[in-house]
Amino acid sequence: MGSNLTRHRLPLPPEDVQAGAFARRQALMPMWGAQPIAAADWPATWQSRQSVLPAAGSLAYIHIPFCANHCVFCGFYRNGWLESQASLFVERLIAELAHEAVSRPAGGRIDAVYFGGGTPTLLPPADLAKLIAATRRYLPLAEQCEITIEGRLDARSAELVAACTEAGATRFSFGVQTFATALRRRLGRKHDGEQVAGYLRSLRGQTDATLVVDLMFGLPGQDEFSLLDDLAIATTLGMDGLDLYAFNAYPGLPMLRMIEKKALDPLPGLPEQALHYALAVNTLRDAGWQQLSNSHFASGCREQNRYNALIKAGRDCLAFGAGAGGKLGGVSYQVQSDLATYLATPATEKPLSHMALQSPQHALIGQLQGALDQGELDTNLLANQPGLLARLAEWQEQSLLRLANGKASLTTAGRFWGPTITRELVMLATSATTTPTSAGASQ
């Protein structure tokens, strides 16, 4: 499963790797600028939002909160897999969808639905198909709505994809992370790289649905040779899309404890991460893949990455299932993540655990975030803020972007720093009291 792509790609153009542009990569928090709503006001606030029709471009997120095991790189683990609980959960989730449909006036349009988790593919194929059918029954989906199922690969994948496709799913995203068997074992993944590649190859021969793989860089012990091997494998399996995510070392992750105990190699530093990202972007570009966002690539026109593009742009998103987060009509909300509480909540009530008023600048935040994630910003958005235009000019000097024809276009290095650039630009654009942080200084 090796590759000699390294010799082809190195050395990279120096401007593609700007590891010292900032002290660290740091994204804008999803709830940034929101004002919490008192719990006593949740029922009335929620009721008032039920009259808001989802505008074109709206989304729905369905959360399946079960995992077979706690992956050491993941900070989102909540519930182990229990089939008896899963059956109860499916029925409660369908009841949540049905009750909201009764409360919502007719009309509206949802352009993309995402089944995330957790691990949605842990559900039996029949239960997952039932949920997809309920989503189509109770939500105002666009005729060509993108319906994505996120999950893991195993021997059941072909059966599951067939059942979900028949129920209406159009897209499947599989969290591979890496094909390197030794590293997969250290990350707690059950199947080796050859098995995973075999499952994907088999799926490609059995379905016309859009297939996407998630890969990661910045993993402990991962070097450019391993990353290039991952890309070489992924690009020969007939996949429609590929996500390339940087590992985020959130406090408290099991992986960090393992590194401290020397059970895992140290994490690559920023110079290595920036090099690996640029190497991957150049390799995929040379292989004919199109970069749709800072972290997403497509091998053809079938892959649209619609849900991720719209959620980054701040579109409304209806949320269902324990732990799901959504926003509607200027209010963001969280569905109760405690599974027992979620299951015990009457079907006539939305099991909420948090509500907040979105920032007054929410529309601008969405415009900036969505544009920068796709690599190009219309500088007219900042026409009345000369300080921000000056910051763009500074980033151009650092080879993070290019200014031309009223556009700020991120370079490969700028795309690596995209989350950090977005965070700083949004904070500067929406808060007159924010003190600008010089490039290279700690954020």
- Kindly tell me if the per-residue pLDDT of 175 is higher than 60: yes
Task: Please state the domain count of the chain.
Answer: 2
Do 183 and 223 share a domain, yes or no? yes
Percentage with pLDDT > 70 across the chain: 92
Do 285 and 403 share a domain, yes or no? no
Which structural domain, as residue segments, surrounds residue 374? 13-32+360-443
Mean pLDDT of 346-361: 94
Do 389 and 245 share a domain, yes or no? no
Examine residue 277 and state whether it is found in any structural domain, yes or no.
yes
The answer, yes or no, to whether the previous bond of 43 is cis (omega within 30 of 0) is: no
121 touches 160 (CB < 8 A):
yes
**First CA to last CA across the chain, in angstroms?**
40
Examine residue 411 and state whether it is found in any structural domain, yes or no.
yes
Do 25 and 62 share a domain, yes or no? no
**Phi and psi angles of residue 380, each rounded to the nearest 5 degrees, phi first:** -60, -25
Examine residue 334 and state whether it is found in any structural domain, yes or no.
no
- Kindly tell me if the per-residue pLDDT of 413 is higher than 50: yes
Do 301 and 163 share a domain, yes or no? yes
pLDDT in tens, 134-153: 999 999 999 999 999 999 89
Alpha helices in 176-286 (DSSP H): 181-186, 193-206, 224-234, 254-260, 270-286
Do 276 and 383 share a domain, yes or no? no
Examine residue 341 and state whether it is found in any structural domain, yes or no.
no
pLDDT for position 84: 79
Confidence of residue 7 (pLDDT cuts 50, 70, 90): very low
pLDDT for position 314: 94
Beta strands per DSSP E along 28-139:
35-36, 58-64, 66-67, 79-80, 110-117
Do 188 and 303 share a domain, yes or no? yes
pLDDT for position 388: 92
**Phi and psi angles of residue 290, each rounded to the nearest 5 degrees, phi first:** -100, 135
Do 410 and 296 share a domain, yes or no? no
Percentage with pLDDT > 90 across the chain: 74
Confidence of residue 320 (pLDDT cuts 50, 70, 90): very high
Do 55 and 181 share a domain, yes or no? yes
Do 109 and 150 share a domain, yes or no? yes
pLDDT for position 435: 40
Tell me, what CATH number does 278's domain have?
Answer: 3.20.20.70
Confidence of residue 81 (pLDDT cuts 50, 70, 90): low
- Where a domain ends, among 312, 341, 376? 312
pLDDT for position 78: 65
Confidence of residue 185 (pLDDT cuts 50, 70, 90): confident
The winner for highest mean pLDDT among 2-6, 117-121, 250-254, 264-268 is 117-121
